[in-house]
Amino acid sequence: MKPLIAGNWKMNGLSASLAEFDAMVAGYDVVLRSAVDLMVCPPTTLLTSMAVRVGTSGIALGGQDCHAAIQGAHTGCISAEMIADAGGTSVIVGHSERRADHHETSEMVAAKAKAALRAGLLAIICVGETKSERLEGKALAVVGQQLKESVPVDLDASRVVIAYEPVWAIGTGLTPTTADVIEMHAHIRALLSDLFGAAGASIRILYGGSVKPSNAAELLSAANVGGALVGGASLKAADFLPIAQAAAAIVR
Ligand code: 13P
């Protein structure tokens, strides 16, 4: 399966940033397209504008969160159906910033993942340990528990992507060692096989946390790394496209 390079713009981007998106559309040429799936998850305010500009480039668009319900009295929230209606084909759920800032539990994340599939979207389900959990030797256990609680087993495995994002690596410039990435991704792969049987082998497991053009090749070459979820470096075409090119250059 092609690697997936997904950009999470978080709460960044005004209409002026559409020029960067245009540059990404222009740079996602036929060669890159044949080797890598590219996705941008902008703030919802830019989703429809990007959907118009994406043209036939094949860049996928996604949301950064959704409510579990289809519609209703939930001021400020957005449903998975609304993301689909705006031109999105995926949604990130359970990002550590949502788990921390909005007190989202894994149970809530699982309900959002179900909502994503109900709306026909791909669910990108995030897991990851904090620095203290890693230092205490609990990283595998914490991530395993999050995964079991956040990934409903009755989901269609072909519509699920997992993103492993160590909280301490997000926006810090720090990354785990390649050995740690390999260990964690193998652990997640084994759990997915327990949950989904043979279908678990084909679920993409993205790495996220301080991915940059300079470290992308090494991180993306690790076993069971099926792509990257990129924050800061996804805001500029000059950073994001080289990450996609690094993914394309890896012989699998
Ligand atoms: P950074 O790439 O800025 O570290 O963010 C990673 C992330 O949280 C993507 O969802």
Query: Does 8 have pLDDT greater than 80?
Result: yes
For residue 129, how many other CB atoms are within 10 A of its CB?
Answer: 25
* Distance from the alpha carbon of residue 164 to the mean position of ligand 1, in angstroms: 11
- pLDDT at residue 16, as a whole number: 97
Tell how far the Cα of 208 is from the centroid of ligand 1, in angstroms. Answer: 6
Query: Of all protein residues, whose CA lies closest to atom 9 belonging to ligand 1?
Result: 231
pLDDT reported for residue 234: 98
Q: Is the pLDDT of residue 153 over 90?
A: no
Regarding the beta carbon of 175 and ligand 1, being less than 6 Å apart is answered no
Model confidence band, residue 66 (pLDDT cutoffs 50, 70, 90): very high
Query: Average pLDDT in the 229-247 region?
Result: 98
How far is the CA of 149 from the CAs of 29, 40, 41, 205, 209, in angstroms?
A: 39, 26, 24, 17, 22
Query: What would the pLDDT profile of 163-219 be if each residue is shown by its tens digit?
Result: 999 999 999 999 999 999 999 999 999 999 999 999 999 999 999 999 999 999 999
- pLDDT score, position 251: 80
Answer yes or no: 95 catalytic: yes
- Rounded to an integer, what distance in angstroms lies between the CA atom of residue 76 and that of residue 69? 13
Quote the CA–CA distance of 235 and 21 in Å, as a whole number: 8
Is a pLDDT exceeding 90 seen at residue 149? yes
Catalytic residue among 95, 97, 129, 133: 95
Burial 181-192 (b: 16+ CB within 10 A, else e): bbbbbebbbebb
- Residue 165 known to be catalytic: yes
Domain 4-251 falls in which CATH fold?
TIM Barrel (3.20.20)
DSSP H/E element including 128 = none
| Nearest ligand 1 atom, CA 171 | 4
Q: Is the pLDDT of residue 252 over 80?
A: no
